[in-house]
Chains A and B, each alone.
Chain A
Amino acid sequence: MKTITKLLASTLIAGTVAVGSTVASAAEITVGLVAGLSGGGAQIGQWMVQGAETAIERINAQGEETTFKLVAEDTQWNAQKTVEAFNKLVSVDGASIILVGGSSPLQAVAPLADQQDIILFNIGAQSPAVAGIGRNVFHALQLSDVDIGVMAKYAHDELGLRKLGVMYVNNDTGKFTQAEFVDKFKAAGGEVVAQEAFNQNDSNFGVQLAKLSAAKPDSVYLVGTPAELPFAVKQARQIIPDVNIVSYAGIESQELLDAAGDAANGIVYSTTYFDPKSDAEQVRMFVGEYMERYGGEPVSPYITYTYDAMTILARALSKTGGEAGTALRDKILDIRTFPVITGDTVFRDDGTVVKAIAIKEIRDGAFALRKVIDPQ
């Protein structure tokens, strides 16, 4: 008992000392980031961190008065762990802004953020349920009712798809994403012939594909996490080869191209509009810095959301003189429009945004742009 107690005590003391040294200096703002960094879907969390780190490095290098410090916490996309992470970031690290990934996590901490005057930025949740859940919540990306609806209409009107099958991961994102797509596809005049779910971390989709195949669709809408998506794609190509595959923004990553190989060619999907080859200075800077830090092109949209969120925050904070809380909130709504690497971000009063949507296709192992659809 004694040895363990001593071990614990010394660890706690060491921890407290470490805490003392994590308190930010006067003109430094601590930004927290909560996302799943281990376990299922950890890849997405890592992309989010990358975007934030890249942005903060650039912002701090500009020599402004307000500098930033990022503290990330692993929530494993779990609501309870997010609440605990939130508490730690706010009350120990003194974070006044938190970037939150995940619909359930966001819903869990939104009331706390309002209570404690913390600004929250949604960096990856698209569930329509998160619209307007807090005074202090802003969104770096559009919610699913915007881009998924656009994709569904495009699929029906321009790709000429009529009989849709759906294969989706049975978690929060999978369920609402496919529900939205099905809704809008039907509204556009299409027919949905099958909806099959699979579990997170599944590696064999024979059951789902068998049922889909029996319904004879001309297209399949796929939603999954980076752990299953490439394999779902590969197997779909094998079992229902002549079918169009459409998907959502989560499919856009180098890791998917590597793992799915040729099977990924021909997939059409929707995402926030971002052109890594653009000549715009902001974009070139972002791509250059990212490649230098991480040695590869920034492909996943999750990288861009946190980058944009930080850009917006930095801009607004420079106008409030470094004051966060309600002042920051009001200032963001005041400025309203922010040019960022994914085009213009225009905030509505409830903090949600409408952005330009890009319809893209995977062609010859790369992501090619088909069409840009501007916000209404």
Chain B
Amino acid sequence: MEVYILGILVTITIFALMAISLDLLVGYTGLFTIAQAAMFGSGAYASAIVSLETGLGFWGGAVAGIAVGAAVASLASIPSLRVSGDYLVLASFGVQVVFHGLFLNLDGVTGGPAGLRGIPRPSLFGWSIDSPAEYLALYLAIAVVIVAVLRRLLASSFGLLLQAVREDELVPQALGKDVLRLKIKIFVLSGAIAGLSGSMYAHYITFVSPESFDVHASIFVLAMVLVGGMGTTWGAILGAAILILLPEVLRFLPLPTMSMGPIRQIIYGLILIMVCFLRPRGLIGGRS
């Protein structure tokens, strides 16, 4: 039982980081996008490829993941500089689909639909990370550091500026702030964190394949941010925890095996709707 629970906690840690990265865009800056899985996936693949080709292991892979995630995000930021609101959603969706297509079709690089396997597990000063408990310790440490740095950053004038842009772009512009640079910066930051969480994912599952990084995954992360509460780091973490725990809890419902799959999905959808009615500002009550 412990192994199972620890495994879930590791998954929550990874997705919490990804949710936080999306919240930077959606919650803090008001940039509604559904391309997070593209950055997550790019980071995962980059990390996998680098560690498989060069033998640099998790740490080298993580650097690659951060770099590639940031690069993809800067690409994804381009539409946001031209359009906003609903158009941005569609544009980000387009980016998501294009990247998923790359993961699926660039056989030589990504292994195509078969994916990449045998991704090395992390090792710390010669100590190999094997069990969920060890993974949790390492990943939690990484996450804590990232969150601490972020919170410091968001509490500063940078964070205030983001929120000003969210409320009304014209105001900071009128005050002479370079909103364009700001948007690019926040995308790059978001992409870097998403890429890092992708790398962590790759080295935990030790296997990456395109179906983990499609539009459904992006929507999944978006749901985490909304359910938890936008514009608060704790909201993103809570949202990740709940949306990952929910299907796990549903496993324990005694259901006939044949219809179990669709029934769980239905319950999942109903709970999402319920949250929209009962706690529309998210469980933590972030900004609406």
Contact = CB atoms under 8 A, between A and B. Distances in A.
Instruction: Give yes or no for direct A-B contact (beta carbon below 8 Å).
Output: yes
Interface in A1-54: 1, 3-4, 8, 11-12, 14-15, 18-19, 22, 36-39, 42, 45-46, 49-50, 53
B211 to A, nearest CB: 6
Nearest to A92: B4
Interface string B185-212: 0000000000000000100011111011
A144 to B, nearest CB: 12
B129 to A, nearest CB: 13
Contacts of A104: 114-115, 207, 209, 211
B279 A4 contact: yes
A91 B2 contact: yes
B260 A83 contact: no
Contacts of A42: 261-262
Interface in A90-120: 90-92, 103-104, 107-108, 111, 115
Contacts of B206: 108, 111
By secondary structure, the A interface counts as helix
A70 B113 contact: no
Contact of A19 (B105, B252, B279): B252
Contacts of B253: 18
A103 B117 CA distance: 11
Contact of A91 (B4, B117, B251, B278): B4
A326 B242 CA distance: 38
A60 interface: no
Given A92-B1, A104-B207, A176-B114, A37 B249 contact: no
Interface string A64-96: 000000101110111110011001101110000
A73 B253 CA distance: 12
A39 B205 CA distance: 22
Contact of B11 (A4, A37, A38, A84): A84
B207 A87 contact: no
A319 to B, nearest CB: 28
Contact of B261 (A1, A38, A103): A38
Contact-residue size bin, chain A (C-beta under 8 Å from the other chain): 35 or more
A129 interface: yes
A37 B114 contact: no
Contact of A70 (B115, B209, B257): B257
Contact of B212 (A46, A49, A79, A87): A79
A69 to B, nearest CB: 12
Given A79-B212, A104-B114, A91 B261 contact: no
Contacts of B285: 1
Contact of A11 (B114, B208, B249, B278): B249
A171 interface: yes
Contacts of B64: none
Contacts of A175: 112-114
Contacts of A111: 206
Contact of B252 (A1, A15, A39): A15
Contacts of B211: 77-79, 104, 171
A175 B115 CA distance: 12
B114 A127 contact: yes
Given A104-B207, A108-B206, A79 B115 contact: yes
A8 B283 CA distance: 12
Contacts of A87: 3-4, 7-8, 132
A157 interface: no
Nearest to B105: A170
A22 B258 CA distance: 18
A103 B115 CA distance: 10
8 nearest CB pairs, A to B: A38-B261, A37-B261, A91-B4, A91-B3, A15-B252, A74-B261, A172-B113, A108-B207
18 contacts: A8-B245, A14-B252, A37-B257, A37-B258, A37-B260, A37-B261, A39-B261, A74-B261, A77-B211, A79-B208, A83-B7, A83-B205, A87-B132, A88-B251, A91-B3, A104-B115, A108-B117, A115-B130
Given A15-B249, A87-B7, A172-B115, 17 more contacts: A1-B284, A1-B285, A12-B245, A14-B252, A36-B261, A42-B261, A45-B261, A53-B257, A74-B261, A76-B261, A80-B201, A80-B205, A80-B212, A90-B3, A170-B104, A171-B211, A175-B112
Interface of A: 1, 3-4, 8, 11-12, 14-15, 18-19, 22, 36-39, 42, 45-46, 49-50, 53, 70, 72-74, 76-80, 83-84, 87-88, 90-92, 103-104, 107-108, 111, 115, 127, 129, 170-172, 174-176
